[in-house]
Amino acid sequence: MARSRLTPEREAELYAAVLDLLREVGYDALTMDAVAARTHSSKATLYRQWGSKAELVVRAMRSSKPLHMDRIDTGSLRGDFLAMVSRVDDCQVEKDSALMRGLFHAVHHNPDLHQALRELLVEPEINGLHALLQRAVDRGEISADGSALKYVTHMLVGAFAARQLIEDLPPDQAFLRDYVDAVVFPALGV
């Protein structure tokens, strides 16, 4: 594997530089040349490791903001949701949400970025969420045919989107914890 040639430290360094550049100039103006210059690596190396700017940027995002739902398994639904919320970094959330908003807008005219975000960032989290809910069903905590089960993603997306777009506030841990208790658990019949 080409990627294995980079040490984890070097990879983390590269991702941090990509995110810095992204905050400075935005997705559209970010070039592989600039990443190469900033990280003292060659463009050939970057393309060999990541294939495209879209993939490099999304992997950098994923490394910096890892909800990693698939790694959450506390043994109870409440524990899992609290673990999820506690992975939100209150200090980072504002900085990152500006960055996410910028990426989200760039998606509009960058289909490859759209695909990378979907495949590398959104789908793994949604699959992790589904597995987490399935375990709660298997433990008998929630019903397999509850009508809200298929809408947990919608509820959570709403929390993040409305908090930022309408309330103009960061979706911090205190807000998310209250929202999960007020909306998600009652809808799931917990």
**Binding stretches for its own copies (CB under 8 A):** 101-102, 105, 108, 122, 126, 147-148, 150-151, 153-159, 161-163, 165-166, 178-179, 181-183, 186-187, 189
Nearest to 163 by CA among 148, 177, 149, 144: 177
> Least distance from C-beta 163 to its own copies, angstroms?
7
Shortest Å, Cβ 14 to its own copies: 27
Give 51 or 102: the residue with its C-beta nearer to its own copies.
102
Residue 103 near residue 27, CB atoms below 8 Å: yes
Q: Where are the alpha helices (DSSP H) in the chain?
A: 8-29, 32-39, 43-50, 53-64, 77-86, 90-107, 111-116, 123-138, 152-165, 173-179, 185-188
Query: Cα(102)–Cα(8) distance, rounded to whole angstroms?
Result: 27
DSSP assignment letter at 5: G
**132 C-beta neighbours (distance < 10 Å), count:** 20
Nearer to its own copies, 34 or 190 (CB): 190
Please say which residue, 161 or 174, places its beta carbon nearer to its own copies: 161
**Minimum distance from CB of 171 to its own copies (Å)?**
10
Nearest to its own copies of 35, 159 (CB atom) = 159
Q: State the nearest-atom distance from the C-beta of 107 to its own copies, in Å.
A: 9
- Taking the complex as a whole, the smallest distance from the CB of residue 48 to its own copies amounts, in Å, to 32
The structure tokens listed for 41 are 């690596």
Residue 94 or 181: the one with the smaller Cβ distance to its own copies is 181
